[in-house]
Amino acid sequence: MSQAKHDRATAEQWLLELTSIPTAAGREDRVIAWIREWVGGRDDLRLSCDASGNLVVDRKDGGTPGATPLYITAHLDHPAFVVEKILNDGRVEMGFRGGVRDAYFRDAPIVIHPSGGGAVRGRVESTEQQEPYRKCVVRLEDGGEVEVGDIGVWALPDAEIVDGIVHTPACDDLAALAAALAAMDVIRGIDRAGHVRLLFTRAEEIGFIGAIAACRDRTMTPGAKVLALENSRSFAESPIGGGPIVRVGDRMSTFSPALTAAVCAVCETLAKEAKEAGGEYKWQRRLMPGGACEATAFQAYGYEATCVCLPLGNYHNMADLDLVERGDEAAVAHARCGREYIGVEDYHGLIEMLIACATRLDEAPDVVAKMEKLFADKSFVLG
């Protein structure tokens, strides 16, 4: 069966644009504005917000009657600084909303993006881990003006694709968000895929807050299936370039066996069809226990959920993280943040997977039926 294709050049353009937008937990406004403009250019789609500001994208016609909704989800934030207090001596107090190790804050250069535009450079003078998140004192270097609520990010080079690798300030989770939009741009033209919707959540980096709110508020239809998209730290057994990963679980839980198996079956079909056509479709199936993701939250509140992720380098912008975690003195002393990176073919593979899941999840073999056939064929050995 031939599958509708996405426009690779356009998908890469969206990837570079979205992953360059400053965003933070509770301050996702710029990303939301980009999505609002994207949806506004498509007459058949609509954008709505729940009480907590999470976004839902679906068809204006309501989709396929009677079909179980399938939500493809991604989060809108990335670890970043937020101005909390102006100290009036060329310094500001900022909260860091997300998880980054202590060594990376030492004298770190950052860029603050005022709500009115422009950029103000600064440098971290001191930092202290507090609740609900780390506090930093930042000295402004440009003499510019900032306000409470402005976002600060690590001072990093611009996004680019080099030798098949996407280097960009914030893959997690904006690369997954870009993939969801690129897939939806194709899915919206498939008549039998009207049950597919997108959910974009806020404040994931400080504890799945938007996802929990969406579950509590029943933003997603009860009984819906959920594919949570993530960018997860790559290890030797989950390499960049090995394809998107069907994540069977995380540090906190294992995900829906039936839905995970169905996604794996879709990937197996894609790989088989690619091979028959003389090509290759790469994908991986892994536990990925290094962290936790929103699929755990969705499942805890009763949804059938699993996760698909992109293998990620420089997780949360932490360069040489393996060495820093091992306590290498030189690495710790010179720890600096860098751009996150993913494989561009992994990104395209994720888009292909999502398009296929829109129409093929229900075609996956029934595991119980398979067990029953095995029993019928070979139960004679039991006497």
The CATH number linked to 146 is: 2.40.30.40
More confident residue, 26 or 370: 26
pTM: 0.95
Tell how far CA 56 is from the center of its chain.
15
Look at residues 381, 329, 353, 302 and name the one whose alpha carbon lies nearest to residue 179.
353
Split at pLDDT 50, 70, 90, the class of 350 is very high
Number of domains making up the chain? 2
The CATH number linked to 344 is: 3.40.630.10
Q: Pairing relation of β-strands 91-97 and 80-86?
A: antiparallel
Alpha-helical (H) ranges within the chain are 8-18, 29-40, 171-187, 209-216, 257-276, 294-300, 321-325, 329-333, 344-360, 367-378
For 280, the domain range is 8-78+159-368
Is 264 a domain residue?
A: yes
pLDDT of residue 262: 96
126 and 165 assigned to the same domain = no
**Interatomic CA distance for residues 23 and 78, integer angstroms:** 6
105 and 53 assigned to the same domain = no
346 and 274 assigned to the same domain = yes
20 and 143 assigned to the same domain = no
pLDDT of 362 > 90? The answer is no
106 and 34 assigned to the same domain = no
Look at residues 327, 311, 332, 329 and name the one whose alpha carbon lies nearest to residue 243.
311
Is 36 a domain residue?
A: yes
Is 378 a domain residue?
A: no
pLDDT in tens, 318-337: 999 999 999 999 999 999 99
274 and 330 assigned to the same domain = yes
pLDDT of residue 289: 86
**Interatomic CA distance for residues 260 and 364, integer angstroms:** 10
Is 304 a domain residue?
A: yes
More confident residue, 133 or 245: 245
User: 359 and 268 in contact (C-beta within 8 Å)?
Assistant: no
pLDDT of residue 247: 97
**Interatomic CA distance for residues 56 and 45, integer angstroms:** 10
Average pLDDT, the chain: 96
197 and 132 assigned to the same domain = no
